[in-house]
Chains A and B, each alone.
Chain A
Amino acid sequence: MAYRISVDHDACMSSGKCVADAPELFRFDDDEIAEPVPGAPAPSDGRIVDLARNCPSGALVVTDAETGDEVDVG
Chain B
Amino acid sequence: MTVTDETIVLRTFADAKDAYRAKDLRQSLYDEGEVVMDGVLVNLHGDEHRNRRRVENRMFRRDVFDQYERALFPAVTERTVAPHLAAGKVDLVQLGHELMLNLAALTAGIDRPKGTAEETARLGEYNAKFIQGATLAHSTGDKDAQRVVIAQALDDWDAEFLAPSVERRRELLDREAAGEDVDVPRDVLATLLRHRDELDLDDAVIRREVAFFLLAGAHTSATAFVRAIDHILGWLERHPEDAAAVREDALFMQRCVHETVRLNPSSPTGRRRALAPVTLRSGVHIPQGATVVIDLQVLNRDPELFGPDAAEFNPNRTPPPGVAPFGLSFGAGVHVCIGQDLAAGVVARPGTDPDTHLYGLVTGAVQHMFGVGVRRDPDDPPQRDAATARPYWGTYPVLLGE
Contacts and interface: CB of A to CB of B under 8 A. Distances in A.
Given A16-B62, A20-B62, A56-B334, A74 B54 contact: no
A32 interface: yes
B322 A56 contact: no
B324 to A, nearest CB: 10
A32 B54 contact: yes
Interface of A is mostly: loop
Nearest to B55: A14
Interface residues of A, number: 14
Interface of B is mostly: helix
Contacts of A13: 50, 53-54, 57, 334
A56 to B, nearest CB: 4
Interface in B117-158: none
B333 A56 contact: yes
A40 to B, nearest CB: 20
B336 interface: yes
Given A53-B322, A58-B21, A16 B61 contact: yes
Interface in A38-61: 53, 56-58
Interface string B316-333: 000000100000000011
Q: What is the interface residue range for chain B against chain A? A: 10 to 19
Contacts of B63: 20
B58 interface: yes
B336 A56 contact: yes
Contacts of A14: 53-54, 57-58
B6 to A, nearest CB: 27
A43 to B, nearest CB: 15
B333 A20 contact: no
Contacts of A57: 50, 333-334
A58 B54 contact: no
15 contacts: A11-B50, A13-B50, A14-B53, A15-B61, A16-B57, A16-B61, A16-B62, A20-B61, A20-B62, A33-B54, A53-B322, A56-B334, A57-B50, A58-B333, A74-B322
Interface of A: 11-16, 20, 32-33, 53, 56-58, 74
Given A14-B53, A56-B336, A58-B334, 18 more contacts: A11-B50, A12-B54, A13-B50, A13-B57, A13-B334, A15-B61, A16-B57, A20-B62, A20-B63, A32-B58, A33-B54, A53-B322, A56-B332, A56-B333, A56-B334, A57-B333, A58-B21, A74-B322
